[in-house]
């Protein structure tokens, strides 16, 4: 088998994202190679996520073998020339040559390797562009929880209906929610809870192109098909709570914020913010919004003129929660809606932006 080095490396760098860090099931610590007529299929799985990548290969040989994960680094540092891979199927040996470099690796028998055989053509599905899906996932996934003790909040909820899809992420202290349109074949509404760590890997794989991603629905799995890639993920068997009740229908104060300027201000304040909450204080006096913080290191305060309507306020927020949101989106303006000292804060895109995104943050209750 002869491959273009860059094309092969792209393939391996995509599928290695599904390799387990350490698994007691030794067979899945490898990369599966399935050589078929006219194509070669590479895949990896951690039993929660499986990624397949197909490369064209004009040949008639059919065989399967397991490749050690070290092959990714080997291909990465080979000369920028064609790569030849040959296999000794009896001994499961792999020979790699490129220019003057030559490797002999010890592979393994692929007989016990768990490979799924899902077909999105036989399921309901929706289609969306890669660029739009990647952008949407980035704007929500950061709000999910990393605490395994609350598994329901370690996933993103995807709700598909005739109007499109709503993606929701929360760690109970904040909520990110985005709605967008999709096309496809949905006979009935679908709701799936996908692990956030799977979504983070998917974001790394998706490209900023308009080519379509097909999202297919199965009994307890969801698949993403695009270009030469097939991603299959297990869904979480948890009931995501209805968060609509915590989103205020009105506000006491609304402030128009230029995202870039506000992000720079909060970044400067976060340099002195301490403690688990990394708290910064936001206070409004007329049309002056002041961001301040104090710690054992010192104090900081910075004001800026803003467009505001409603009551003055003083509120404490987690600076990390603010910065993660602002770094995940590319809106130029925000409408920040405040609901008093202890009420939730809602960030929405500015008047000139799309109105399909919402980010809710609960304030920090400070003791005097």
Q: pLDDT tens for residues 89-112? A: 888 889 999 989 999 988 888 888
Look at residue 366 and tell me if it is in a domain.
no
Predicted local confidence at residue 367, as pLDDT: 67
Look at residue 242 and tell me if it is in a domain.
no
Per 3-state DSSP, the chain is made up of helix, strand and coil in percentages (nearest 5) of: 20, 40, 35
* One-character DSSP codes across 172-196: SSEEEEEEE--EEE-SS-EEEEEEH
Give residue 300's Cα distance to chain centre. 34
What is the distance between the alpha carbons of residues 231 and 332, in angstroms, rounded to a whole number? 33
Contacts of 368 (CB under 8 A, 6+ apart): none
What is the distance between the alpha carbons of residues 336 and 347, in angstroms, rounded to a whole number? 5
Look at residue 345 and tell me if it is in a domain.
yes
Look at residue 118 and tell me if it is in a domain.
no
Predicted local confidence at residue 254, as pLDDT: 95
What is the distance between the alpha carbons of residues 365 and 165, in angstroms, rounded to a whole number? 34
Predicted local confidence at residue 57, as pLDDT: 81
Residues 35 and 72 in one domain: yes
User: Which tokens go with 47?
Assistant: 């039993």
Predicted local confidence at residue 354, as pLDDT: 65
- Domain holding 34, by residue range, is 2-106
pTM for the model stands at: 0.88
What H or E segment, with its residue span, contains residue 288? strand 288-294
Q: What is the rounded end-to-end Cα distance, in angstroms, of the chain?
A: 71
Residues 167 and 202 in one domain: yes
What is the distance between the alpha carbons of residues 311 and 286, in angstroms, rounded to a whole number? 8
What is the distance between the alpha carbons of residues 344 and 162, in angstroms, rounded to a whole number? 30
Domain end residue (candidates: 77, 106, 135): 106
Predicted local confidence at residue 257, as pLDDT: 93
Contacts of 328 (CB under 8 A, 6+ apart): 138, 139, 142
Instruction: Identify the CATH number of the domain in which residue 79 sits.
Output: 3.10.150.10
What is the distance between the alpha carbons of residues 143 and 360, in angstroms, rounded to a whole number? 10
Look at residue 367 and tell me if it is in a domain.
no
Predicted local confidence at residue 63, as pLDDT: 84
Which residues lie across from 294 on neighbouring strands?
A: 299
What is the distance between the alpha carbons of residues 15 and 53, in angstroms, rounded to a whole number? 7
Structural domains counted in the chain: 3
Residues 230 and 254 in one domain: no
Predicted local confidence at residue 152, as pLDDT: 93
Per-residue pLDDT of the chain (368 residues; tens, 9 = 90+): 888 999 999 999 999 999 988 777 788 899 999 888 788 999 999 988 999 999 988 776 788 889 999 999 999 999 988 999 888 888 888 999 998 999 998 888 888 888 776 654 556 888 999 999 999 999 999 999 988 888 999 999 999 888 889 999 999 999 999 999 888 777 778 889 999 999 999 999 998 898 999 998 888 899 999 989 999 999 999 999 988 889 999 999 999 999 999 999 999 999 999 888 899 999 999 999 999 999 888 999 999 999 999 999 999 999 999 999 999 998 899 999 999 999 999 999 986 656 699 999 999 987 65
Residues 189 and 224 in one domain: yes
Over the Cα atoms of the chain, what is R_g? 25
Residue 256 contacts residue 308 (beta carbons within 8 Å): yes
């Amino acid at each position: 088998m002869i491959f273009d080095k860059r094309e092969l490396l792209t393939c391996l760098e995509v599928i290695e994202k599904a390799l387990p860090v350490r698994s007691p099931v030794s067979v899945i610590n490898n990369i599966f190679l399935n050589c078929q007529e006219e194509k070669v299929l590479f895949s990896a799985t951690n039993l929660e996520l499986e990624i397949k990548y197909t490369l064209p290969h004009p040949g008639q040989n059919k065989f399967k073998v397991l490749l050690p994960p070290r092959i990714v680094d080997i291909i990465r540092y080979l000369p920028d020339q064609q790569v030849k891979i040959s296999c000794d199927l009896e001994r499961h040996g792999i020979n790699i040559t490129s220019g003057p470099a030559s490797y002999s690796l010890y592979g393994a028998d692929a007989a016990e390797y768990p490979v799924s055989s899902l077909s999105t053509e036989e399921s309901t599905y929706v289609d969306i562009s890669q660029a739009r899906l990647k952008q949407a996932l980035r704007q929500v996934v950061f709000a999910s929880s990393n605490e395994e003790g609350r598994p329901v909040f370690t996933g993103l909820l995807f709700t598909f209906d005739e109007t499109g899809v709503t993606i929701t992420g929360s760690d109970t202290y904040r909520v990110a929610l985005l709605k967008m349109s999709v096309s496809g074949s949905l006979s009935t509404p679908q709701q799936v809870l996908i692990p956030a760590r799977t979504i983070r890997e998917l974001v790394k794989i998706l490209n900023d192109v308009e080519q379509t991603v097909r999202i297919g629905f199965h009994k307890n799995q969801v698949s993403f098909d695009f270009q030469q890639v097939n991603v299959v993920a297990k869904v979480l068997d948890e009931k995501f709570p209805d968060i609509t009740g915590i989103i205020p229908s009105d506000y006491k104060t609304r402030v128009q914020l230029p995202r870039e300027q506000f992000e720079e201000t909060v970044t400067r304040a976060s340099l002195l913010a301490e403690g688990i909450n990394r708290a910064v204080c936001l206070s409004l006096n007329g049309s002056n919004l002041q961001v301040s913080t104090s710690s054992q290191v010192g104090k900081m305060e910075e004001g800026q003129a803003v467009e505001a309507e409603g009551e003055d306020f003083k509120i404490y927020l987690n600076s990390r929660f603010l910065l993660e949101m602002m770094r995940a989106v590319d809106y130029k303006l925000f409408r920040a809606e405040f609901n008093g000292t202890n009420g939730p804060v809602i960030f929405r895109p500015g008047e000139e932006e799309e109105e399909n995104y919402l980010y809710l943050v609960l304030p920090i209750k400070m003791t005097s």
